[in-house]
């Protein structure tokens, strides 16, 4: 079941984020900031968090929100699945949910920023397998030799 | 003279922003939000506002800040010159100042998001004249038929 974030989910999300090897300390901090922002303001225009719940536990979440100044562009800020239960299709279900959220809000674009690092190979393949295309690349972005790659899908309504 | 924003500048900046024909109401609101954010937190990591002052009045400003998760990417969020005193080279001086600010902070990239609309012709020409290149384009971004164009300059240090 994918449902809106609740206050009680916070602790489990902290542990999922903390145990994600791919995330730097700054990434972990910002991921939690967006969750706290969404909890503090459930009708937040910019950050919307939805969790995947199964057998009374949280297996992952996505955080999606509208880009300011646009009338239909949504950023998929985070899509995270518990490292211990990867490859069960939960990421795909969260992605479908995020796309449907965009559709329901009459959005056109869903965009996801990723890194060119080897450790993000699986992430990039995930977006390509799900019919995203590369809409932007900027070299030396996160760090020297760590480029920005923005994946996007144009949502047909 | 280009100097850091002070509380007393706020009223003049409101009037410059309000009188800019190119800005939508949402753009005006967000431009002021960033100014108030910079005033509320002068050592703000993300928003830094510098004003162009001449004969005791403010002729324009830029708002520049580091992109989260990067170690050297700066967004030029806003660069605005009073509509009544355009074409005097003030924009160019503000742009040079923003680039120097990035250099002083050991940044690599300065990025500026603009629109493909006809009313932004002068803005796009301004960046191209100043050796910026287009690093990203996304169609139907701000609105249908209003594309995102991101200009960027790689700062040599």
Residues of chain B with Cβ-Cβ distance to A108 below 8 Å are: 140, 144
Query: In whole angstroms, how far apart are CA B92 and each of A71, A122, B134?
Result: 31, 43, 18
Query: Which phi and psi angles does A77 have, rounded to 5°?
Result: -65, -45
Query: Which phi and psi angles does A135 have, rounded to 5°?
Result: -105, -10
Least confident of A12-16, A20-24, A118-122: A20-24
Query: Average pLDDT for residues A121-138, to the nearest whole number?
Result: 97
How far does the CA of residue B109 sit from the closest CA of chain A (Å)?
Answer: 8
Cα–Cα distance measured from residue B52 to residue B96, given in angstroms and rounded to the nearest whole number: 12
Site from A30, A32, A69, A139 to mutate, B interface, most B CB atoms within 10 angstroms: A69
Per-residue pLDDT at A97 exceeds 70: yes
* Residue B105 CA from chain centroid, whole number: 17
Buried b (16+ CB within 10 A) or exposed e, B83-122: eeeeeeebbebbbebbbebbeeeebbbbbbbbbbbeeeee
Residues of chain B with Cβ-Cβ distance to A140 below 8 Å are: 72, 108-109, 154
Q: B140 vs A154: CB contact, 8 Å cut-off?
A: yes
Cα–Cα distance measured from residue B150 to residue A130, given in angstroms and rounded to the nearest whole number: 26
How far does the CA of residue B2 sit from the closest CA of chain A (Å)?
Answer: 28
Length of chain B: 157
The domains of chain A, with CATH numbers, are 2-154 (3.40.630.30)
In 3D space, the residue among B120, B17, B1 whose CA is nearest the CA of residue B57 turns out to be B1
pLDDT at A87: 82
pLDDT at A45: 74
Query: Average pLDDT for residues B18-35, to the nearest whole number?
Result: 93
Bridge partners of B51?
Answer: B3, B61
pLDDT at B157: 65
- Which residues of A sit within 8 Å Cβ distance of B? 24, 26-27, 30, 68-73, 108-109, 111, 135-138, 140-144, 150, 152, 154
Query: Average pLDDT for residues A87-115, to the nearest whole number?
Result: 96
Q: A138 vs B108: CB contact, 8 Å cut-off?
A: no
Query: Average pLDDT for residues A8-15, to the nearest whole number?
Result: 96
pLDDT at A157: 65
pLDDT at B9: 96
Cα nearest neighbour of A31 on chain B: B69
Asked if A49 and A63 count as a contact pair (C-beta separation under 8 A), the reply is yes
Closest CB to B68 among A30, A69, A137: A30
Directed axis angle between helix A10-18 and helix A25-40, to 10°?
A: 170
pLDDT at B45: 74
Pair of tokens at residue A127: 């977006």
> pLDDT per residue over B29-46, tens digit each?
999 999 999 999 877 778
pTM for the whole structure: 0.93
HSE value, Cβ hemisphere, 13 Å, CA-based, for B77: 22
Query: Average pLDDT for residues A29-33, to the nearest whole number?
Result: 95
Cα–Cα distance measured from residue A3 to residue B76, given in angstroms and rounded to the nearest whole number: 37
> pLDDT per residue over B53-110, tens digit each?
998 999 999 999 999 999 999 999 999 999 888 789 999 999 999 999 999 999 999 9
Bridge partners of B99?
Answer: none
Cα–Cα distance measured from residue A43 to residue A82, given in angstroms and rounded to the nearest whole number: 26
> pLDDT per residue over B133-145, tens digit each?
999 999 999 999 9
**Percentage above 90 pLDDT, chain A:** 88
Cα–Cα distance measured from residue A39 to residue A9, given in angstroms and rounded to the nearest whole number: 10
pLDDT at B64: 97
Per-residue pLDDT at A35 exceeds 70: yes
Sign of CA dihedral A24, A27, A33, A35: negative
Site from B25, B37, B69, B112 to mutate, A interface, most A CB atoms within 10 angstroms: B69
Q: A26 vs B138: CB contact, 8 Å cut-off?
A: no
Asked if A48 and A75 count as a contact pair (C-beta separation under 8 A), the reply is no
Cα nearest neighbour of A29 on chain B: B69
Non-local CB neighbours of B139 within 8 Å, separated by 6+ positions: B147
End-to-end CA distance of chain A: 24
pLDDT at A57: 92
Cα nearest neighbour of B28 on chain A: A69
If DSSP codes are grouped into helix, strand and coil, which group holds residue B12? helix
Length of chain A: 157
Cβ–Cβ pairs < 8 A, chains A and B: 61
């Amino acid at each position: 079941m994918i449902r809106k974030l609740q206050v009680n989910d916070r602790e489990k999300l902290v542990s999922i984020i903390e145990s994600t090897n791919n995330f730097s300390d700054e990434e972990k901090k910002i991921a939690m900031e967006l969750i706290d922002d969404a909890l503090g303001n459930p009708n937040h225009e910019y950050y919307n968090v939805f969790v995947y719940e199964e057998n009374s536990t949280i297996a992952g979440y996505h955080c999606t929100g509208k880009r300011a100044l646009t009338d239909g562009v949504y950023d998929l800020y985070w899509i995270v699945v518990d490292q211990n239960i990867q490859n069960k299709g939960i990421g795909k279900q969260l992605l479908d949910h995020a796309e449907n959220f965009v559709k329901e809000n009459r959005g056109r674009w869903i965009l996801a920023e990723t890194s060119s690092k080897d450790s993000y190979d699986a992430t990039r393949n995930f977006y390509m397998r799900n019919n995203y295309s590369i809409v932007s690349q900027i070299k030396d972005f996160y760090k020297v030799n760590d480029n920005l790659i923005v994946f996007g899908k144009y949502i047909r309504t």
